[in-house]
Structure 1
């Protein structure tokens, strides 16, 4: 039997060629699919073109989710003190601050912190409606609270006598309006001499005044929770004995906010059950080494005034571009945590996290060099601020610029157009752009936008984080740092 080798070889060759061509077609199709998928799911980290789209891209029939409202504010008054609220290496921290953040997140509210000088100022803000909660955590007399209501008890604390080591106090001081003052009046008998210190002075400020020798008394009477935290930072002081009965420690509310009282009780019950409260309590009140460290001015921005390792560069850049240099400090903290060698997953580098294309456009050879990167970031931010000059207020203008810094100006332009189509205000942040920008991550909107879909919710969160940092810097930094070096645009 003869085999037709040439015929078989020819058939085999033709089959191999056909299989090869089919394989190449399949491979090209798969590569094209991957390329389209990458373009559609792009995270939009490179600033897009400055051109604005003109074509409508909102769905013809808005869905229920398109009925948007800005998040409600939760305004909380608190007092600057090492355990409750302070700025550590540029970042706001503290027991009360962390609790307030968790509370706002649970209630789906946007936290706005108001820093009061003392308990009485916080209560006054509560009476006038400037804040909804006075998170002071200090037991007060009925006269001092003046008709306001104490929220659910978070814990209980008695008054204790604090003095210097080896000293027997004769004259004892207490703050006016505090329950410690009532305890002092009821128990101080000769040879004990009492001294009631008038406001304004916070409980923590009262402790500092005694520790620094600015009070004439040899001892002070204060709530135990503050005394135990303070002597861990200043071991030259001691707790001698407890005076008076244990009283509830609560946040304060206005009598008209009964619903808020119920919600706050539910929140405190949940965080106690989940062990969040004792964990935060231990972190800020009971760790001696951590408390000693955070009492040092060189790491406390609100004490020493140092925001970043490159403050002189920030000041010069802010002055040159005509805006408050503290805004640059807030951006650097949010972008890199003051790490000049930071590299993001998207490829952004340096303290201000410049993408390679943006760095090249701004003339930056080394994004990790603060002397190059920070002035370039200031120029870029000024360009973005000017871009949104039609915004209703400078705050709206600044927030749009911050979002554009994060996600690219083209996407913010798309969000403004979408806001107009959804009958929102494109010149306002909270009532317009902040509501429209997250929608660009949805295919119904993002695929029709000129610059495509993007992680709009991330950009909104970024802008709000930087704005909150900037707002708190202006409230708690030393007065010498609050002078605007370049003026307000």
Structure 2
């Protein structure tokens, strides 16, 4: 056999081996389910939007109802998760069509599923649409759609509410509305409050979360029956992924997680009345920006959350640096002369000195509390001591112990502090009479202001994120992939 012939046969042999290897890989790939591919790649790809309902950044960390739920699913699979942020529902749907994501999550927004390339998961919660109006003296509240014909309505584009109104238009041909292409639900409600529009149609759970911060707005009536909420997946003959999703969503632990997340993200309530809310909004916009740097500086020096310091200051002075009540205290943090001297504040009216001094004084009080007591009770007790004096706080803790209550729990001590107003009790403790109901209300109010501050700052953050470059559709590389962590289920009203 000539050299050329041997070379030819060797070439044919190599080609055959390569072709055989290719066919083997092809067969193996064809037999690999979508779920197996995700597990092998150790990566679940999820597309979602940047909103309070789905995904947003808080203190440079990702959070949101759908973020936590999807992250729990990734942990269930034992894989990392990659979030890609999209600008609208169409982009989320396109990701599935182009196989750029395994799951697209629109949250409370609904994508119609009459396309050949996407399918819905099992329902994991429901959404009720509501018609929201501004209460106006002398004008009767609408009770049905016929009452809003001819009025200015606003609805989110590509939303469930828009779909429902399209159906209702068959019965009410004169019914017209505008579409909010970029505005958030917060923006829509603000427009109703500002009288730019008459009616907003949104989800009930969003109004439950955001509505209390808009005094004067109410639900007029519900629109249609509650609609199911789903995740969207690519429509493939392979059912491995959707079966895994449906199994996860119906699992007892997931059902409990969803309840916890709904309580965390949606069951907010505004603890203030209408007048207080309006005053707080005004002061938040006009006074806080001038003081924010001082609160953050005090936070750096003491380790206390600057928002907590801001909440304390609002309770003390409504962020009025010139506040001088007749009780002898002064400034943003309402320091007494003795307290100011203890933390080396020379000018109580100076906002920087007052804020940093108040933070240092709170640390002094907190350090007196037994180290065995953990937060949030430690912080609550420190706030009460800051307000009424550490001696009276200790007296209340003694009364709690005598009554068989726990002197280390704020909930129990808050019951005995008011007893210091009664001779029967204050004559039995070292420091005597105190207006013990005041520190209880003091802590309660600070918790309320802190809750609203966090919410307002979250809205600012969401607006800032949504105004970023719209072409930046994915997260920075270092944030794209991460092992999903356990969700933080701390209620938003805690310190």
Give the structure, 1 or 2, with the largest relative contact order (CA under 8 Å, sep 6 or more): 1
TM normalised by structure 2 equals 0.44
TM normalised by structure 1 equals 0.44
